[in-house]
Amino acid sequence: MKTHCFEKSSYSEPKGECVEVARNIPRTVAVRDSKRSGGPYLTVAPAAWDAFTAGLRRQP
C-alpha cells in the first residue's frame, strides 16, 4: 500500500486546528484533519481542489 505524503496547510498554527493535504496520488487530492492522522480522508479531483482553493483566495 502506497503511503500518502500529507502536508500541513501553510496557514495552520502549530497547535491549532488544521487540514493536511496529499497531492502525491495520481489524479487525486486527499484531505484530512491533522488531529486524526490515522483516520479517514476525503479525496477530490485536482481540478475540484484547485477551484476550491482559488475560491478561498478570492475571499476578502
- pTM, two decimal places: 0.76
Q: Are 38 and 58 in contact (CB under 8 A)?
A: no
* Domain regions of the chain by residue span: 18-57
Q: What is the largest CA-CA distance in the chain?
A: 41
Q: Are 25 and 16 in contact (CB under 8 A)?
A: no
C-alpha cell at 16: 491549532
Give CA–CA dist 15/8, Å, rounded: 12
Per residue of the chain (60 residues), give pLDDT as tens. 467 888 887 767 767 678 899 999 899 999 998 888 888 999 999 999 999 989 988 877
